[in-house]
Structure 1
Amino acid sequence: MSFSLSAVLRPLTRAVTYTRWLHQLIASVAGTLLGFVHGGTFRSTGMEVWLWIAVLPVPVLLAAALIPAVRRVEGLQAQLLLIPGPHGPEEQAAAGISTAPSRSWRDRARTAGWLLLRLAVGVPVSALTVQLPLMGVAFLQGAAGHRTHFRGLPAIDAPHWWYALLVPLPLAVLLAVAVAAGSLMAAAARLLLGPSAAERLAVLEARTERILEHNRLAQELHDSIGHALTVTVLQAGAARTAGSPDFTDRALAAIEETGRQALTDLERALRLLREDVPHPAGRPVLADAERLLESARAAGATVRAELSGPLAALPGPVSREGYRMVQEALTNVLRHAGPVPVSVRIAAGADALELEVRNPMPAAPAPVAAGRGLRGLRERAVLLGGEAVAGPDEDGEWRVHARLPLARLG
């Protein structure tokens, strides 16, 4: 019994119960103001006043829903008053309520539905907030032996002491209605003011960009620190065995310079991570692939390219990482096979992007696991929900192939 009673009383101890209640009362403000403008509204009797307050704002709310900024204002108000807990950027993102202005007619329609629902719930709650406490006062006066009659409530013509037993009932009903209506509006806000498909796509792209940028920084940091440690170990070992003061001085100078450069790289990477990585605008995309192919040709390779599909319309993360994957494949060709004929195919389809780079096998191929290039290529593909493979094919050529799905980001 005590557990059930505590469960019933728990909402009354939460601040969000009363902020939600305030949110519902605000919904009747527009109707009240319009009631003063509309002659005769407050000369009505009984519940007719509340009916006017519920009907008069409807055309105004429908017109307001067409204004893009109204959705933003309603979203901010809903986050502040309907959602419990802190309201920082991360908590706001997790609340499931958008604070972006309307971008489509569907957003405007959802905003209109939200405004009408606020009115339909808020006006009855406001009416009960006014009338039910008056009913409690009427019961209290009846228990004291006074005949009472409040506007909009039935009269008490036969007062008696037992009316005192009914005094808590209107307040209990009011609190129960306020709690239930608040929970309803919080759920409806996530449905009607939640992010649209375009907004969810933008959030997903931003999150994908952050993951890819952090992964790139981690790879660069690994290469820089790994290179510095390798140079330091080699130079220190050589200085120890050389037995020459001049060589030792040169080795220590090289270690000092290498360590300084590694520290610079480390500070730069940490600074970018603390700043949550700047916007990747300006980075090359697959629409710039011709420039990449020309650089490979300038290095002596004979490049035969086949580019097809709407490369300029690819999602940003796919296009940027696709460019890097082709760049890495061409770099590996030049590094391990030299200036040999290379075949490059970049095909943007309806549901996937296909990348393929082929070249003749070198006479003494390096081991596949000799570096992070191919591993990084596979990691980029996996982060985008795709796959990448590299190795010799049946024609005796080295083939790098990647497939990046577009449906996951579209």
Structure 2
Amino acid sequence: MHRTIQPLCRRSTYSGAVFAFTGAAMNVFLLPFALVPVGLWEVPSASLRTALFAAAMVALIVLLGLPRATRLISVSLANRLLGAELPEPAKHPLSRWSTRLRTSVWLQLHVGLGGLSTGLVLLLLMAGLVLPATWLSGGDRIACFGLSVDIVPGWRGAWVWPAAAAALVVSVQTCAAATAFLRVMAQRLLGHSAAERLAELEERQLILAQRNRLAQELHDSIGHTLTASTIQAAVAGELLEADPDAARRALRSIEESSRSALDDLDHVLGTLREEASATAPERTLANVNDLFERIRQAGTELQVDIVGDLTHVPTTVSREAYRIVQEGLTNAMRHGDQAVPVAVTVSADIAWLEIVVVNAISGRHSAATRTGGGRGLVGVTERVRLLRGEVVAGPAATDPDRPETTMPRLVGGGCWKLVVRVPLRLAA
């Protein structure tokens, strides 16, 4: 008994009835258009006229299911009235025609089952009202669809009351059953297909990869700026009275670095907010001298050796190489000893691009404390891996085989060395 009465208390039962009613209303709307071919062609047989009318109805529903707006409306109605929780229709072109076909099938089901269940519910409701009303009015004969029943007054006709109650309960059960069935079919016909789910997953992976890339860009840019600004602020504080001009230069350098970091931050936030006007600041090896100048203004002595023509490096590699040099210098400034210079070598030939950053290890940051690496080194490794290159980072002694200009003069012989090699032919 509980299962019989329970649908009476569910809101979905009545919202499903409204949904079925919309399918019946579509029948009424399409009916005049489906009767046009029947009126134009003189078909002598009634069965042929019925078949022609049915074919016209099917064709109209198929055409109605082709526009994407129809699927959007169908999904919205199913979510609101059936509680289907369907996702927004996919826009992937590979699933366009299969999606339209499934939309047409859904409309056929909606119109057909909606009209059938609405007619049955209305018939049951009418029986539930007419039977008691006829008994109360003194009895009469009721005829419907070729069937007739005599209702007599008195206790012999009291059966109309349980019959009316049964008709009302069956009408509610019909609504509940139609709602449940349409909800299941909505998931299959209005939900995403396998191709759409795969396309959605690929798109989500691309978005996550892009956001990870933006986070890496932000880490490199802001991390470098904060490190350089901290050192420059310390230098400016020490030189404020002894050398005001040098202090002002350090403060101007902080201003320029901060403005550059704000540009990067604006780009990242604009992309995350999906603003089309956001343009990425493209910095490549062509801008590496500006980076070196900012490092020197921060008070770090920098030895730079550029070998080969960097303008021939492919743009993709050049952009990543700039970030690698930036991150290497940031780590050197953060962990190195300011009393000794940092050496940077950028060399390019036909086949390879090589970047070497060497700095002395201070007492506060020994080789042991840096062996594990940090997020900066992880970011460098990810960039190099994407470019099919190789990276080596770790403590090293001075290399006697290299020219003196490429290695800092170290106290005690200990240093931290970052070496990156990227193939250029593969990248091009």
Structures share a fold, TM > 0.5?
Answer: yes
> Aligned with 1:184: secondary structure?
helix
Distance 1:372 1:266, change over 3 A: same
Give 1:163 deviation, angstroms.
0.8
> Aligned with 1:70: secondary structure?
coil
Which of 107, 117, 126 is the equivalent residue of 1:115?
107
Which residue does 2:310 correspond to in 1? Answer: 299
Give 1:181 deviation, angstroms.
1.2
Please list, as runs of the form range in 1=range in 2, the aligned pairs for 1:288-327 lying within 5 A after superposition: 298-299=309-310, 324=316
Distance 1:270 1:281, change over 3 A: closer
Pair 1:79 & 2:75 matched: yes
Distance 1:380 1:58, change over 3 A: farther
Residues in 2 aligned to 1:339 and 1:158: alpha-carbon distance in whole angstroms? 104
Q: How many residues get paired?
A: 332
TM-superposition CA deviations, 1:76-99 (whole Å, max 9, x none) = 232222113899xxx98x536558
Residues in 1 aligned to 2:357 and 2:232: alpha-carbon distance in whole angstroms? 32
Residues in 1 aligned to 2:54 and 2:375: alpha-carbon distance in whole angstroms? 68
Residues in 1 aligned to 2:373 and 2:192: alpha-carbon distance in whole angstroms? 44
TM-superposition CA deviations, 1:375-401 (whole Å, max 9, x none) = 3663898xxxx9978457xxxx97769
Give 1:142 deviation, angstroms.
4.0
RMSD: 5.0
User: Is the deviation greater in 162-171 or in 147-156?
Assistant: 147-156
Which residue does 1:12 correspond to in 2? Answer: 11
Give 1:167 deviation, angstroms.
1.6
Give 1:100 deviation, angstroms.
8.1
Please list, as runs of the form range in 1=range in 2, the aligned pairs for 1:231-270 lying within 5 A after superposition: 231-242=228-239, 243-244=241-242, 245-270=244-269
Which residue does 2:140 correspond to in 1? Answer: 147
Distance 1:189 1:368, change over 3 A: same
CA contact (8 A) 2:142 2:149 kept: yes
Letter paired with 1:375: G
Give 1:153 deviation, angstroms.
6.7
Give 1:239 deviation, angstroms.
2.4
Give 1:270 deviation, angstroms.
2.2
TM-superposition CA deviations, 1:295-321 (whole Å, max 9, x none) = x98428899xxxxxxxxxxxxxxxxxx
Residues in 2 aligned to 1:116 and 1:63: alpha-carbon distance in whole angstroms? 10
Letter paired with 1:24: G
Distance 1:330 1:374, change over 3 A: farther
With structure 2 as the length reference, what TM-score do the two structures score? Answer: 0.59
Which of 268, 275, 278 is the equivalent residue of 2:276?
278
> Aligned with 1:156: secondary structure?
strand
Which of 199, 203, 206 is the equivalent residue of 2:200?
203
TM-superposition CA deviations, 1:15-49 (whole Å, max 9, x none) = 7434423333235325643676658xxxxxxxx9x
Pair 1:227 & 2:224 matched: yes
Which residue does 2:332 correspond to in 1? Answer: none
Distance 1:180 1:338, change over 3 A: same
Residues in 1 aligned to 2:61 and 2:253: alpha-carbon distance in whole angstroms? 69
Give 1:250 deviation, angstroms.
2.8
Residues in 1 aligned to 2:359 and 2:63: alpha-carbon distance in whole angstroms? 65
* Fraction of identical pairs, as percent: 25
TM-superposition CA deviations, 1:75-124 (whole Å, max 9, x none) = 1232222113899xxx98x5365588996654454344333323431232
Pair 1:375 & 2:379 matched: yes
CA contact (8 A) 1:139 1:163 kept: yes
> Aligned with 2:151: secondary structure?
coil
Structure 2, unpaired ranges of 5+ = 40-45, 283-306, 329-343, 361-370, 393-418, 424-428
User: Is the deviation greater in 250-259 or in 175-184?
Assistant: 250-259
CA contact (8 A) 2:24 2:114 kept: yes
Residues in 1 aligned to 2:184 and 2:174: alpha-carbon distance in whole angstroms? 15
Distance 1:202 1:280, change over 3 A: farther
Structure 1, unpaired ranges of 5+ = 40-47, 285-295, 304-322, 344-357, 402-410
| Structure ID, larger Rg | 2
> Aligned with 1:194: secondary structure?
coil
Which residue does 1:312 correspond to in 2? Answer: none
Distance 1:329 1:5, change over 3 A: farther
Which of 339, 348, 369 is the equivalent residue of 2:347?
339
Letter paired with 2:76: L
Residues in 1 aligned to 2:281 and 2:258: alpha-carbon distance in whole angstroms? 29
Pair 1:171 & 2:171 matched: no
CA contact (8 A) 1:65 1:112 kept: yes
> Aligned with 1:65: secondary structure?
helix
Residues in 2 aligned to 1:380 and 1:62: alpha-carbon distance in whole angstroms? 58
Pair 1:162 & 2:187 matched: no
Give 1:369 deviation, angstroms.
5.0
Distance 1:277 1:212, change over 3 A: farther
Give 1:133 deviation, angstroms.
1.6
> Aligned with 1:149: secondary structure?
strand
Which residue does 2:331 correspond to in 1? Answer: none
TM-superposition CA deviations, 1:193-235 (whole Å, max 9, x none) = 3334554455344433432332232222222221221122111
Residues in 1 aligned to 2:421 and 2:376: alpha-carbon distance in whole angstroms? 17
CA contact (8 A) 1:58 1:116 kept: no
